[in-house]
Amino acid sequence: MKTVKQSFAALRGLCVTRHLGLALAMTALAPGLVQAQAYPARPVKMVVPFPAGGATDNLARVIAPKFGEMLGQPVIIENKAGANTIVGADSVAKAPNDGYTLLMTTDSTLSINPWLYSKLPYDSIKDFAPITMIAAVPQVLVVHPSVPANSLKELLALAKEKPGSLNYASYGAGSPPQLLTELLKASTKTDFVHIPYKGGAPATADLLGGQVQMLFGSVPTNLPHIKAGKLRALGVTGSQRFAALPNVPTISESVPGYDVTVMFGLLAPAGTAKPILEKLNAAMVATLKDPEIARKLREQAFEPAGSTPEEFVRIVSKDSARWSKLISDLGIKGE
């Protein structure tokens, strides 16, 4: 039997050991905590891996001022376009992991490019830290007014009646417009001829001019052309009709199971301190919940999100599984 004195001595030793362990843990966390407490002490750069004027750039410019207000420092947008988002993504992957360089991108970077390119200059999983999903936007299938189809069913019937007679534009091999059209082809056993372009602007220009007949594009980009009667909308890719196009049916109404939206998310370089990531997540989620920001985004056909990093990863994983199979089945290679 231990004496009372021995028991107190043992208890005191246990307390000292626990306090020492806690002290060591706090010492290990101290650099990140100190860094996070001071963060941000200067402007934050948000890299957009697309040209100015596109959907991702427009989204960034709506949210950047409020996001900066929430952080207490300006958020500066830097467009680094090229190679289907690879140029911009690589610059962030190799940036210091101090929270001052962020990447705002689409699922092309995370869910498509890893399967499209045999070799990337970065690891899409290991080289980035997820912060939050920012927004989702359905794509819209638009055709030139000369196409004798006023609904998706009529378009599919036309394609089956005259296989290979309809051309569709894309922004290049493996771009979302190609994948969305190939998914439609596979789901409906129809045939459309792929005409790849080097970006959205030339693809849309030739569609408006009638050089190609159809395109899956973003709602924000195509909405003005639809309203002006220059393009005809036949379907949106989400699970429900979109507020900006209430009379346009979802593709899933004719093709069950066809439910695809483009996701926009915010990332930091891997190794960024967790307290900094938490501060960035809180600031962006608060930004997206702001009524004025939400109104502006919905006016441009974006649906504000705001998620935990874990939810963001689950969405990316689900999309990645779908696109990896389609890319593999079709043998699509990035340019």
What is the tens place of the pLDDT at every residue in 115-125?
999 899 999 98
Same domain, 93 and 126: yes
Higher pLDDT, 218 or 11: 218
pLDDT at res. 33: 56
- Which whole number is the average pLDDT over 17-22? 38
Domain boundary, last residue among 221, 253, 285: 253
CATH value at residue 46: 3.40.190.150
Rg of the chain over CA atoms, in angstroms? 24
Confidence of residue 13 (pLDDT cuts 50, 70, 90): very low
Tally DSSP H helices, then E strands, for the chain. Answer: 12, 10
- Which whole number is the average pLDDT over 77-100? 95
pLDDT at res. 21: 39
Domain count, the chain: 2
Question: Would you say residue 237 has pLDDT above 50?
Answer: yes
Share of the chain above pLDDT 70, in %: 89
Same domain, 189 and 229: yes
Same domain, 121 and 144: no
Structural domain contains residue 56: yes
pLDDT at res. 334: 78
Structural domain contains residue 269: yes
Same domain, 166 and 267: no
**pTM here?**
0.81
Domain boundary, last residue among 253, 270, 296: 253
Confidence of residue 239 (pLDDT cuts 50, 70, 90): confident
pLDDT at res. 36: 64
Residue for token pair 């962006």: 284
Same domain, 107 and 170: no
Confidence of residue 26 (pLDDT cuts 50, 70, 90): very low
Structural domain contains residue 58: yes
Same domain, 243 and 287: no
Structural domain contains residue 25: no
Same domain, 220 and 205: yes
Same domain, 300 and 223: no
Per-residue pLDDT of 214-230, as tens digits, reads: 999 988 789 899 999 99
Among 14-18, 69-73, 183-187, which is the least confidently predicted range? 14-18
Structural domain contains residue 93: yes
Domain boundary, last residue among 227, 253, 279: 253
- Which whole number is the average pLDDT over 287-308? 93
pLDDT at res. 7: 40
Q: Which range marks the domain in which residue 287 is found? A: 41-136+262-330
Same domain, 236 and 273: no
CATH value at residue 242: 3.40.190.10
Structural domain contains residue 4: no
Same domain, 168 and 268: no
Question: Would you say residue 18 has pLDDT above 60?
Answer: no
Structural domain contains residue 29: no
